[in-house]
Structure 1
C-alpha cells in the first residue's frame, strides 16, 4: 500500500473513531416513578347572626338595650383573632349638636348569656370608633374567645349592652337624633403549623 493510501486510511479511521466517541450509545439501568401531590387550602369564614344587632326607637337618656348575637366559624380553619371596626353616623334631629352623640352611648361587652352581669370591656361608642381593630381584639375578643379562638364549625354568643348615658345635664341637643352604627368583623387565621 502506498503512503497516500495509508495516510487516507488513518484519517478515515480517526474520523470514524471520533464519531463513535461523540455519538456513541451508553447502556445503564434506570427506573422512574411519578407522584401525585395536592395542596388544598382551608377556608376562613366568620358570620354574625343576626346582622342587625340593634334597632331601637324612642331612646332617652338613661335607657339601655342588651343584645346578644352569635359569632360563627363556618369555615374549616381556626379563627384566632376577630378584628372589629366601628363606624357610625349621626343624623341631627331637632337640636343643633355641639357634642358627638357617640360620646354619650356607653358600650359594654359582656360574657355569654349565662354570665350577663360580668363585663369584659366597657367604653363609649366614640372611643370604640377611634380604637384600632387589633386593640379591640385584645380587649374584647381574646378575653371572650380565649387562647383557642373560634374553632371550625363552632359558634359563641357575644352579649353587648348599649346605654344612652344620663349625665345629669341638659341633653336636649340629641332630641330626634338617629345614630347609625356599622360594625365590621374581620377574622384572622391561627398560626401556621407543621403538617
Structure 2
C-alpha cells in the first residue's frame, strides 16, 4: 500500500474518531422514576334497622304505638346530616273520606330508650309529608345526633305513633289503611373534603 493511501486512510480514521468524540459531547446521563398513586373515594353508608318500622292493624282513636330503630353509619366517612322524606298512600275502605287519614296520625320523635318522656319533635304524618327534608333534620336529627354519626357508630331513634282521638266523629276512617314510606338520605360532614385537601397541601 502506498504511502499516500496509508496517509489517506489515516486521515479518514482520524476524522471518524473525531466524529465519535464530537458526538459524545452531546450525550448526557439520565434517570427516571414512576410513582403509582391511588385516589380512593370514601363511602357514605347509612343503614336503618329494622327496615320495617311499624306494622299494626285494628287500631282505633286513642291508640299509641312506640317503635325504636337504629341509624347506623356503616361507611368510612362521618355523616353530618340525615334528611328524612315522608310519603304515604291511603286506602279508603268506604270511599267516604273528607280528611286525610295521615292528619289523624300523630308522630313524636323521642330521645333514646332510657328517655322516652323527652320529646324531640311532635307533628302529624300529613305535616311531616309536606316538610322540607332540611327542616326535618333541623327539628329532629340535629338535636338527636348532635355531632353527627362517625364511621362505625349508631344511634337509636324512637318514634311514637298515635291515632289521635279528636273527640269528634271519626267514622270515615274505619277500615282505612295507610302505607308509610320513610326515606333517609345521609350527607357527609362538610369538612371531610377540606381536611383532606389541607393534609395534601401540608405534605407538598
Are 1:156 and 2:155 counterparts? yes
For 1:90 and 1:31, how far apart are their aligned partners in 2?
A: 73
For 2:35 and 2:138, how far apart are their aligned partners in 1?
A: 45
- The match for 1:26 is 26
For 1:94 and 1:37, how far apart are their aligned partners in 2?
A: 65
Query: Where in structure 1 do 4 or more consecutive aligned residues deviate above 6 Å?
Result: none
Contact 1:106 1:123 in 2 (8 A): yes
How many equivalent residue pairs?
172
Moved more, 129-138 or 23-32: 23-32
Query: What's the TM-score, normalizing by structure 1?
Result: 0.83
- Please report how far the alpha carbon of residue 33 of structure 1 lies from its aligned counterpart in structure 2 after TM superposition: 2.4
For 1:76 and 1:173, how far apart are their aligned partners in 2?
A: 49
Are 1:42 and 2:42 counterparts? yes
- The match for 1:84 is 84
For 1:137 and 1:30, how far apart are their aligned partners in 2?
A: 60
Unaligned segments of structure 2, at least 5 residues: 1-22, 200-204
Unaligned segments of structure 1, at least 5 residues: 1-22
Contact 1:95 1:172 in 2 (8 A): no
Secondary structure of the 2:37 match is coil
For 2:187 and 2:41, how far apart are their aligned partners in 1?
A: 15
For 2:41 and 2:93, how far apart are their aligned partners in 1?
A: 50
| Aligned residue runs from structure 1 range 60-75, under 5 A | 60-75=60-75
Contact 1:95 1:175 in 2 (8 A): no
Give CA-to-partner distance per residue, 1:36-92, whole Å, 9 cap, x none: 211111111111111111111111111110000011111111111111110001000
Query: What's the TM-score, normalizing by structure 2?
Result: 0.80
| Aligned residue runs from structure 1 range 133-152, under 5 A | 133-147=133-147, 149-152=148-151
Point out the structure with the larger helix share: 2
